[in-house]
């Protein structure tokens, strides 16, 4: 009979062989954590390799993503669609085994990890999603949602500040089905961590409200099993299992050193590892008995079949709830979505209100949210300013020492902009929820890498940013975004909307809800005038840029504007003696995706007298106005003063726009 250590050694040899073949990678973590993975997957982990998207599967996150050969090895060994040839192609172009785990490349990889600390934070989002969906759908005698989220993480993850944000939050929420294995090997790339990481990690996590199981021998299967049993028995707290491991376990000369962290072992050392482990098979050859010991296909199929029977019983007892559950898990919009959004557009246009777009955003949510129970809203401690709590919202964590209610749909994240955003990514990846989370636009800077990860993974979530410019006013330049909008637009796959009024605000929400990827919705603090439109203009808002005001014949000048600056452009155009076309461009990425004929109809190439107006860094607008065009934008940081004074100070006035229009011969 194959021993546990022999099964674990399969991970070790596959990992070191793949890294050696690629001449690149990190063999140390997979070799050090192999015994933990063996116990977890063979004794506890509920999954179906033949259906990696089974709804009620356990989730696994390799937060120390450089150790990617560990999950790749496990996926191959347990029966996923990941061949030995795929392992041989580790780190090669277009392979299923990229250098770090990439969501969407490999069946069974739940999230993209690599930027340390974000994997554990994604996992918090997954565990949160599981707890919310269980509260919303499980019924007495019918447990539909019931699974664990397991995480491997290392010293690097715990050094990153985001881990503090996420793990503190997870403890407060009592995410009892979140179980993390800390690879406590005292090594990072620079060497032994004693010179830069001396935290008392167990005490730190106890202070967060976690169950901590310290000093577990990460190479003793019985000790690991005992720890997992204790973790699963604690239902009210997440658990950190601190596993003492040896990085590069099995390497006679490099184990326990940083030499094995991020470099191939070398052929001579690999030969010694095989000798030390008693592994006689050639590289990339796994004995049949080892494959048999790992194969999870039969057990996985049985687990899914049992759940499918539960689903059928649930559907018989609760047909409406069952249909809603499946709709949400499949990521489909309500069947009457077209009717819902059509009525909302009609209502908003008829009211013709002129609030701040942050208020218009709440009004849009009031219209849409009752029909979208998958919404998981929230704010990083700015709910009254962001206006994200709507008439359909119910707090999960209401504060004031009130009981938590996980059947709710709104979260106070606290001052955790980065953590919030990465938690949203995890919740979106889990499925069944459509997260939106808010803060001031300026503080998107704290969250920037999570936004990039959202775009990289195409997660369907909505980042809401208010107080969008120097219009913030008295809080001063620390709170006034100037470079944020242009740089957000530079993120591939990120759809960025800056609305000029209540109708554009609603349309931005429509797009974000329908778009299969992340969106940034950017809203003002100050009131913005409603713009009257024809039915054709209303329809064209969804094209990202459209003619809001036109003139007879070919225009003399085209003025392009977004957000609060559209009103300036319209007033200046009305005062000019020239033939001025005003183009509102709430979303450049959507406009850029239109066909050439439509873009030419809005911005005819023959008209080179063009102006762009936006209270932000101007550089990105030159692709629309050309080298002969002009941009009224911010060339420096703002100042602390009332908004009207600031707009005048920095040239965002009707008179300045008019003068710029008239400057063209």
What token pair was written down for 412?
A: 């106070």
Residue 520: closest CA among 595, 593, 592, 459: 459
Q: Using CA atoms in the order 359, 393, 494, 617, what is the torsion angle rounded to 10 degrees?
A: 30
Catalytic residue chosen out of the listed positions 102, 130, 165, 417: 417
Place of tokens 């991020």: 262
Using CA atoms, how far apart are residues 334 and 444, in angstroms rounded to an integer?
A: 31
DSSP string, 393-458: --BSS--TTPPP-TT--EEE--S-HHHHHHHHHHHHHHSS-EEEEEEEGGGGGTTHHHHHHHHHHT
> What percent of the residues of the chain are helix, what percent strand, and what percent coil, each to the nearest 5?
45, 15, 40
Residue tagged 């993850």 (tokens): 157
Can you count the helices (H) and strands (E) in the chain?
A: 27, 18
Distance CA 79, CA 57 (A): 15
- The dihedral built from the CA positions of residue 634, 637, 642 and 648, taken in this order, carries a sign that is negative
The encoded tokens of residue 61 equal 């996150």
> What 8-state DSSP symbol labels residue 262?
S
Helix (H) or strand (E) holding 154: strand 149-154
Q: Mark whether 234 is an active-site residue.
A: no
Q: What are phi and psi of 632, to 5 degrees?
A: -95, 105
Q: Reduce the secondary structure of 168-183 to three states and give it as a string.
A: HHHHHHCCCCEEEEEE
Which residue has tokens 């009592």? Answer: 174
Q: What are phi and psi of 317, to 5 degrees?
A: -85, -35
CB 78 within 8 A of CB 286: no
| H-helix or E-strand spanning residue 655 | helix 654-662
The two structure tokens encoding residue 623: 């692709």
Q: Which helix (H) or strand (E) holds 503?
A: helix 502-514
- The owner of tokens 């409406």 is 320
Quote the DSSP letter at residue 459.
-
- Cβ neighbours for 462, distance < 8 A, ≥ 6 positions apart: 434, 435, 436, 437, 509, 512, 513, 518, 519, 521
CB-count burial class (<10 Å; 0-12, 13-18, 19+) for 577 = exposed
Distance of CA 384 to the CA centre of its chain: 24
Contact status, residue 12 vs residue 31, Cβ threshold 8 Å:
yes
The two tokens of residue 64 are: 């120390």
In Å, how far from its chain's centre is CA 215? 33
- Among all residues, which ones are annotated catalytic? 417
């Amino acid at each position: 009979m194959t021993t546990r250590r022999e099964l674990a050694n399969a991970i070790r040899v596959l990992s070191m062989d793949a890294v050696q073949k690629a001449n690149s990678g990190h063999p140390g973590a997979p070799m050090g954590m192999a015994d933990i993975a063996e116990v977890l997957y063979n004794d506890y982990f509920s999954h179906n390799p033949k259906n990696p998207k089974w709804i009620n599967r356990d989730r696994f996150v390799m937060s120390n993503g450089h150790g990617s050969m560990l999950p790749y090895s496990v996926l191959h060994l347990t029966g996923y669609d990941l061949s030995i040839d795929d392992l041989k192609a580790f780190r090669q172009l277009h392979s299923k085994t990229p250098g770090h785990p990439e969501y969407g490349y490999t069946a069974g990889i739940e999230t993209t990890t690599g930027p340390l600390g974000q994997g554990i934070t994604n996992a918090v989002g997954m565990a949160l999603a599981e707890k919310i969906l269980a509260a919303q759908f499980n019924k007495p005698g019918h447990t539909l949602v019931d699974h664990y989220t397991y995480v491997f993480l290392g010293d690097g993850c715990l050094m990153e500040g985001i881990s503090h944000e996420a793990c503190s939050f997870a403890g407060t929420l009592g995410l009892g089905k979140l179980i993390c294995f800390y690879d406590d090997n005292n090594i990072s790339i620079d060497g032994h961590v004693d010179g830069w990481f001396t935290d008392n990690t167990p005490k730190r996590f106890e202070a967060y409200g976690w169950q901590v199981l310290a000093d577990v021998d990460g190479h003793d299967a019985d000790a690991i099993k005992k720890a997992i049993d204790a973790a699963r028995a604690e239902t009210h707290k997440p658990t950190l299992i601190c596993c003492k491991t040896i990085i590069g376990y099995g390497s006679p000369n490099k184990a326990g050193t940083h030499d094995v962290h991020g470099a191939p072992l070398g052929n001579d050392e690999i030969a010694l590892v095989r000798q030390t482990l008693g592994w006689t098979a050639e590289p990339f050859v796994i004995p049949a008995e080892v494959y048999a010991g790992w194969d999870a296909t039969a057990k996985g199929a049985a687990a899914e079949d049992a759940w499918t029977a539960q689903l059928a019983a649930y559907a018989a007892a609760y047909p409406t709830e069952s249909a809603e559950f499946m709709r949400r898990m499949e990521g489909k919009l309500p069947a009457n979505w077209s009717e819902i959004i059509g009525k909302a557009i009609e209502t908003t246009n008829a009211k013709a209100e002129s609030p701040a777009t942050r208020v218009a955003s709440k009004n849009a949510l009031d219209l849409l949210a009752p029909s979208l129970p998958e919404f998981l809203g929230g704010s990083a401690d700015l709910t009254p300013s962001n206006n994200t709590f709507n008439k359909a919202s119910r707090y999960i964590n209401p504060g004031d020492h009130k009981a938590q209610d996980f059947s709710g749909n709104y979260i106070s994240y606290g001052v955790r902009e980065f953590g919030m955003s990465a938690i949203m990514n995890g919740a979106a990846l889990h499925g069944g929820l459509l997260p939106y989370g808010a803060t001031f636009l300026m503080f998107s800077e704290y969250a920037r890498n999570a936004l990039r990860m959202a775009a990289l993974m195409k997660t369907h979530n909505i980042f809401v940013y208010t107080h969008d410019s120097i219009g913030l006013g008295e809080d001063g330049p620390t709170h006034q975004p100037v470079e944020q909008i242009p740089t957000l637009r530079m993120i591939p796959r990120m759809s960025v909307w800056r609305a000029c009024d209540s109708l554009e605000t609603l349309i931005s929400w429509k797009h974000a809800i329908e778009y299969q990827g992340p969106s940034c919705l950017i809203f003002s603090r100050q009131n913005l005038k409603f713009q009257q439109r024809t039915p054709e203009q209303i329809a064209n808002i969804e094209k990202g840029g459209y003619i809001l005001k036109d003139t007879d014949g070919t225009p003399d000048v085209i003025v392009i504007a977004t957000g609060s600056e559209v009103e300036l452009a319209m007033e200046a155009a009305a005062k000019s003696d020239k033939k001025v076309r005003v183009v509102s461009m709430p979303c450049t990425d959507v406009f850029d995706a239109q066909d050439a004929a439509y873009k030419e109809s809005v911005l005819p190439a023959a008209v080179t007298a063009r102006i762009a107006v936006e209270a932000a860094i101007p550089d990105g607008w030159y692709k629309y106005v050309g080298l002969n065009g002009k941009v009224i934008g911010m060339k420096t940081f703002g100042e602390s003063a009332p908004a009207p004074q600031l707009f005048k100070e920095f040239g965002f006035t009707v008179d300045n726009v008019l003068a710029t229009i008239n400057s063209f011969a």
